[in-house]
Amino acid sequence: MVAESLITLLKLSSHSSSIKICVEGNIGSGKTTCLQYFSKTSNIEILKEPVSKWQNIRGHNPLALMYQDSERWGLTLQTYVQLTMLDRHLSSANAPVRIMERSIFSAKYIFVENLFRSGKMPEVDYAVLSEWFDWITARIPIHIDLIVYLQTSPQTCHERLKQRCREEEKVIPLEYLESIHQLYEDWLIRQTSAPLPAPVMVISADHDLQKILCQYEKNHDKILGTSTI
């Protein structure tokens, strides 16, 4: 009875009249720039990835540990990522439009999948995470109106990572970005790897900052008026 009551409350919290948009893309694709642009629009709620939580859970940094030893710490990090992203999805909306950085879906379809396919996550760990994900998504409707995919080449992402010099990202090789890119393309462009939770708008994000901002300006109304797409 307690479990059923909890699920009912979670379902109620997931329903809202607000428009929900998820910005997806590789590491270094420009998600932060996208969120910053739309944050200047009134009546917009921005939810960034809770990276600070992934970097410090009771004094531990599971994000850094995962990059150092994926086979040992992949399950630890991705379990916490799944929890924190679910919390983001189910939190009460504070504006008519909510834009969220990534989603629980990309956490599973991209990053967990990449760990498993690359041989850096044991099959039993992958099975556990998959069971949790399937349980959550089968019982709790997670509504998304639009996915904005910042399509960026792995080479461009790699150059941007070198420029911004985040501590955890110093060990990320180009090959890792290529794998993430391939999974995103399979999911959001070719639509061959996993179901889409929402329509997809593709923004080419390989350009310099000014050109990218012009694309956001051009597509501003289409993105925020997702009910008409």
**Confidence (pLDDT) at 11:** 53
Average the pLDDT over 92-100 and give the result. 94
Is 29 marked as a binding-site residue? yes
- Give residue limits of the domains in the chain: 2-228
Is 40 marked as a binding-site residue? no
Average the pLDDT over 116-133 and give the result. 97
What pTM value is reported for the model?
Answer: 0.88
Is 33 marked as a binding-site residue? yes
Q: Taking 90 as the threshold, does the pLDDT of residue 2 lie above it?
A: no
- CATH number attached to the domain at 2-228: 3.40.50.300
Is 30 marked as a binding-site residue? yes
DSSP states of 179-205: HHHHHHIIIIIS--SS--SS-EEEEE-
Q: Cα(132)–Cα(123) distance, rounded to whole angstroms?
A: 14
Three-state secondary-structure class, residue 36? helix
Helix (H) / strand (E) containing 70? helix 70-90
Neighbour order of strands in the sheet with 146-151: 44-47, 97-101, 19-25, 146-151, 200-204
Q: pLDDT tens digits, residue range 75-87?
A: 999 999 999 999 9
Q: Cα(73)–Cα(65) distance, rounded to whole angstroms?
A: 6
**Confidence (pLDDT) at 162:** 86
Is 56 marked as a binding-site residue? no
| Catalytic residue list | 101
Q: pLDDT tens digits, residue range 12-67?
A: 445 557 899 999 999 999 999 999 999 998 889 999 999 999 999 999 999 999 98
Q: pLDDT tens digits, residue range 176-199?
A: 999 999 999 999 999 999 999 999
